[in-house]
A = this chain, B = another copy of it.
Amino acid sequence: MKEITYVKAINEALREELARDDSVIVMGEDVGISGGSFNATKGLFEAFGSKRIIDTPISESAIAGIAVGAAISGLRPVAEIMFMDFTALAMDSIVNSAAKMRYMSAGQCKAPVVFRTLGGGGVSAGPGHSQSLESWFCHVPGLKVVYPSTPYDVKGLLKSSIRDDNPIIFIEHKFLRAKGEIPEEEYTLPLGQADVKREGSDVTVVTWGQLFFKVATSAEKLAREGINIEIIDLRTLIPLDMKTIESSVKKTGKLVIAHEAVKISGFGAEIAASVVEHLFDYLDAPIRRIGAAFTPIPWGTVVENAVLPQEADIISAVKDIVRSRQAKN
């Protein structure tokens, strides 16, 4: 095992897949000569050359559309849309081209493209560089959606995403310097498999992406008060690993879903609704969701923190749910 940062894990995954398969190319704004806006593609240009590590103009729609075209002709493009907010400019290429190509051609082609993008807030980047928009993509048949939290997960899942034959929205978070252990040797992780990051018997907390870290620290605090939460880090949103959620909810009977995206119409709603549909009789408390307030994300620490979900929100939701049932019983 070795300890590396989240961004280094991304870089290793790209490097290994580029070396393994020469149909893999990397494209996007500043990914080439400079090594990327946040060093994710550092050193790749030198190692693999300008034909495989491609600097593009500031043209998000074309970047995504070109990646789709290359993908249906046999390449495996990894296209970077610098910030998730900018996917708004590429939605047609992602939704109306990438996601539907295989379907509309009745399987004549596939579109194995990975759209890497940086989601989440917490760094005073303002309303146009901080959004978490994963639920948009979860609503689009044909796309897979991946949002790993740790260096270990991001490396293994990025490698698998590049090898997967479907178009994938691969979300990375801004806690790029988060450290974690990964094996020295090569590994991949399967898409569509959630990870129980902490076992517990009192409340199931389903989370993903950047907010995982706050859930993890909340768990420690709650444990000190005798409340043991089970943390399911989804890692992949589509396809959704309902099995792992199911067995946990059957055990705890209580569910909190915590994500950084705006709560209303977030992907937490889908999970809550699915659980109610299939596990209604196992639930012994209402499902609680935690997400950002229904506002844009303001710039500046005080206001940004006011809007984004915090440890305190997680802790109080868990406590609420535990208490409300104790009161009843």
In whole Å, how far is A72's beta carbon from the nearest beta carbon of chain B? 15
Are B95 and A92 within 8 A (Cβ)?
Answer: no
Which residues of B have CB within 8 Å of A128? 96, 100
Expressed in whole angstroms, the minimum distance between the Cβ of A98 and any Cβ of chain B is 11
Q: Is the C-beta of A133 less than 8 angstroms from some C-beta in chain B? A: yes
Contact between A96 and B88 (Cβ–Cβ < 8 Å)? Answer: yes
Query: What are the interface flags for A250-277 relative to B under an 8 Å C-beta threshold, 1 for contact and 0 otherwise?
Result: 0000000000011011111110111011
User: Are the C-beta atoms of B141 and A262 separated by less than 8 Å?
Assistant: yes
Q: Which of B99, B268, B288 contacts A296 (CB 8 A)?
A: B99
A-B CB contact pairs (8 Å), 8 listed:
A96-B127, A104-B127, A141-B262, A141-B295, A264-B270, A265-B267, A269-B269, A269-B274
Question: A139 touches which one: B140, B238, B264, B298 (CB < 8 A)?
Answer: B264
Known pairs A96-B85, A277-B287; A135 contacts B127 (CB<8 A): no
From B86, B100, B127, B269, A127 is in contact (CB under 8 Å) with B100
Q: Chain B nearest CB: distance from A60 CB in Å?
A: 9
**Is A95 within 8 A of B88, CB to CB?**
yes
User: Is A315's beta carbon under 8 Å from chain B?
Assistant: no
Residues of B close to A261: CB separation below 8 A = 139
Which chain B residues lie closer than 8 Å to A89 at the CB level?
Answer: 61, 91-92
Which residues from B are CB-within-8-Å of A190? Answer: none
Is the Cβ of A135 less than 8 Å from the Cβ of B265? yes
Chain B: minimal CB distance from A218 (Å) = 19
Cα separation A182 to B270 with both chains bound (whole Å): 37
Distance in angstroms from A191 CB to nearest chain B CB is 16
Say yes or no for A136: interface residue by CB 8 A criterion.
yes
* Distance between Cα atoms of A51 and B18 in the complex (Å): 55
Tell me the complex Cα distance, A294–B145, Å: 14
A280 nearest in chain B by CB position: B286
A103 at the interface (CB under 8 A from B): yes
Q: How far is the CA of A285 from the CA of B268 in the complex (A)?
A: 21
Q: Is the CB of A289 within 8 A of B273?
A: yes
Within 8 A of B (CB), among A128-185: 128, 133, 135-136, 138-142
Residue numbers in B under 8 Å from A88 (CB-CB)? 91-92, 94-96
State which residues 272-329 of A face B: CB under 8 Å. Answer: 272-274, 276-278, 280, 283, 285-289, 293-296, 298
B141 lies within 8 A of A294 (CB) = yes
